[in-house]
Amino acid sequence: MQIKNLMSEELITVDKDQNLSDALKLLRKHNVSRLPVTNHKELVGIISERDIANKLGSSKAENMPASRFHISSVMVKDVITVPETMQLADVAKIMLDKGIGSVPVMRGDEMVGIVSKADFVTLAVGIAFDKIAVKEIMSKEVIDVSPADRLVHARRKMLDNNVGRLPVVDDDKLVGMITSKDLMRAFIDFRKNVPEKYQKSQIKEVLVEDIMSSNPCYVSKEMSITEVSNIMMETGFNGLPVIEDGKLVGIITQTDILRLIEKLES
């Protein structure tokens, strides 16, 4: 199958000279996690929730509201694109090799769509995926945080390990999840509500438990990939903790499913 048959043709873009506040409104309005960035309709970058969370959480950006940042100062400039005729497996391999969550799709010099890991997840249903269990493809080495950890520590863990979500574990029990979206919203709310002169000291007092999602959705290692894919599509979650006998034993993400599809399609 060519990627043009899977891509989303609805393109929500943001101009490089707009500010982060404009991007945040678009992300929220359209319930997407990244936006292609344009300059006079030409693709010049891409910006994601993770990029925004990383920027707003950096020490260099302390005390500055989102409205002070231009998109061009936050976006990823070296955008990897694919032609609309490229095969699914080849696109999946590029995304896996480069560690990216989406790629704009081109027809010549024109951007005609975008494809994300979430689009690939829609393919992971049916007989072939009914026969594959979570335990066969899940990541067993889980990077987690404690509810008492500082928010800045969680951000650093995500950055260092190039992940967009962390299970929150207390006394070996899963008590929550924290994502790039949670970080992004927390940093924005913090800047709005805390006077500028107190931000540098008080940001260190914000804890994971203050912003994490409690009672997280989880799966068992015996569930099929079809079941997990359906949960991801229904909830919009990019990753799900795997629980056995009340303990966290792994995590299954869109990346794991993308890797499976790439293997089956090759």
Q: How far apart are CA 102 and CA 100, in angstroms?
A: 6
Average pLDDT in the 12-31 region?
A: 92
Average pLDDT in the 2-18 region?
A: 95
The answer on pLDDT for 126 being more than 70 is yes
Give 72: exposed, middle or buried? Use CB within 10 Å, 0-12, 13-18, 19+. Answer: middle
The answer on pLDDT for 186 being more than 70 is yes
Q: How far apart are CA 51 and CA 57, in angstroms?
A: 10
Q: Which residue has the higher pLDDT, 192 or 110?
A: 110
Average pLDDT in the 18-42 region?
A: 92
The answer on pLDDT for 188 being more than 90 is no
What's the chain's average pLDDT?
92
The answer on pLDDT for 58 being more than 80 is no
The answer on pLDDT for 212 being more than 90 is yes
The answer on pLDDT for 189 being more than 70 is yes
Q: What is the pLDDT of residue 81?
A: 97
Average pLDDT in the 203-208 region?
A: 90
The answer on pLDDT for 192 being more than 90 is no
What is the percent of the chain where pLDDT is above 70?
A: 97
**Which stretches of 166-215 are DSSP H helices?**
180-193, 196-202, 208-211
**Which stretches of the chain are DSSP H helices?**
20-30, 49-56, 88-98, 117-121, 127-130, 134-137, 151-161, 180-193, 196-202, 208-211, 225-235, 254-265
Amino acid type, 122:
T
The answer on pLDDT for 244 being more than 90 is yes
| Ranges 25-39, 47-61, 84-98, 141-155: which has the least confidence | 47-61
Other residues' Cβ atoms within 10 Å of the Cβ of residue 126:
11
The answer on pLDDT for 196 being more than 90 is no
The answer on pLDDT for 110 being more than 90 is yes
Q: How far apart are CA 56 and CA 191, in angstroms?
A: 9
Q: What is the pLDDT of residue 69?
A: 86
Chain segment 159-185, per-residue pLDDT in tens: 899 899 999 999 889 999 999 999 988
The answer on pLDDT for 62 being more than 70 is no
Q: How far is CA 217 from CA 91, 157, 252, in A?
A: 29, 22, 12
The answer on pLDDT for 215 being more than 90 is no
Average pLDDT in the 142-163 region?
A: 93
212 secondary structure, DSSP code: P
Choose among 158, 135, 120: nearest CA to 220. Answer: 135
Q: What is the pLDDT of residue 63?
A: 62
